[in-house]
Amino acid sequence: MSDLNNSVIFPKGNKMPEPFSKNFIGQAYLHMLVPGDKEFNCPIGNVTFEPGCRNNWHKHLGGQILLVTGGRGWYQEEGETARELKAGDVVKIPANVKHWHGAARDSWFVHLSVETNSQAGPAEWLEPVADDEYNKLK
């Protein structure tokens, strides 16, 4: 199992704080590199997922970009096949597209999360990814 327990390049940070943690299954860690503000409109966080950890379905009102720095994970948009992710991959998530992302069952997973056009408002969190859907992913 790829062990990224110390994250990649950027700090792993602390356990995902409330109120975000309730939108995750499993343990994730968050280190904010750039906090949300009205100047840059572009909060950036380093997110580390333990094996099996993923977030619930959600939407960003202004979009989001994922820059994968380590491990192996998944990204899925509603109605689409899940896309496998590894270091160096980039995901462009348009505004209002329902999606989830997280680690593979057997690997840690680390990505930078860039929230674009954050002045549009906070993410809208939805239902968890069904276990039987997630467990199909190899």
Q: Which residues are near a copy of itself by CB under 8 A?
A: 8-11, 33-34, 39-42, 44, 63, 65, 67, 69-70, 87-88, 90, 92, 94-95, 112, 114, 116-117
Residue whose CB is less far from a copy of itself, 122 or 130 = 122
Residue whose CB is less far from a copy of itself, 44 or 129 = 44
Q: Are 112 and 46 spatial neighbours (Cβ–Cβ below 8 Å)?
A: yes
Return the number of other C-beta atoms located less than 10 Å from residue 60's C-beta: 23
Residue whose CB is less far from a copy of itself, 25 or 67 = 67
- Cα–Cα distance measured from residue 121 to residue 15, given in angstroms and rounded to the nearest whole number: 24
Q: Work out the widest C-alpha separation in the chain, in whole angstroms.
A: 42
CA neighbours closer than 13 Å in the CB half-sphere of residue 44: 13
Smallest gap from Cβ 102 to a copy of itself, in A, equals 19
List the one residue out of 93, 95, 114, 99 whose CA is nearest residue 41: 114
Smallest gap from Cβ 66 to a copy of itself, in A, equals 10
Residue whose CB is less far from a copy of itself, 48 or 129 = 48
